[in-house]
Amino acid sequence: GESVGLHLPTLSVQEGDNSIINCAYSNSASDYFIWYKQESGKGPQFIIDIRSNMDKRQGQRVTVLLNKTVKHLSLQIAATQPGDSAVYFCAENPRVGAQKLVFGQGTRLTINP
C-alpha cells in the first residue's frame, strides 16, 4: 500500500557512476509499473514504464528491470548527472482495470560532484 508517512530513503552516488534505485511490490496481480522523477517543488515526471509481460525495458540512459518472481522493480540510470538529483517514485497498477496506482515511498537520489 501507499507509504505516505515515511521519510524518504536516500541514495548518494558519484557523478558519472551508474545509479540503481529499487522498489519492492507485494501484489502478484500487478500488471503495469511506472517510474517517476520529482524535482523539488515540481510535479512528478514520467520516466519509463513496463508491462508485466516484459522483464526489461530501456530508454535514454535509463533501464527498468522487472523481476516478478521476487516482486522487485529497479531503475538503472547510466552515467549519473547532477540533473538526475531528485526523488524517484515507483508505481504499480495493482490489477487490470484498477482506477488507482499504488505509489512507493520514494527514494531521494543525491549526486556527489
- The contact set with another protein (CB under 8 A) reads 2-8, 31-32, 34, 36, 41-46, 49, 89, 91, 93, 96-101, 103-106
Is 8:21 a contact under the CB 8 Å cutoff? no
Nearer to another protein, 8 or 79 (CB): 8
Work out whether strand 86-93 and strand 72-77 pair parallel, antiparallel, or are unpaired.
Answer: unpaired
Phi, psi of 8 (to 5 degrees): -75, 135
Nearer to another protein, 74 or 105 (CB): 105
Q: C-beta of 76: minimal distance to another protein in Å?
A: 19
* Cα 27 to Cα 33, 66, 80, 102, distances in angstroms: 12, 13, 31, 10
Nearer to another protein, 91 or 109 (CB): 91
Q: C-beta of 69: minimal distance to another protein in Å?
A: 22
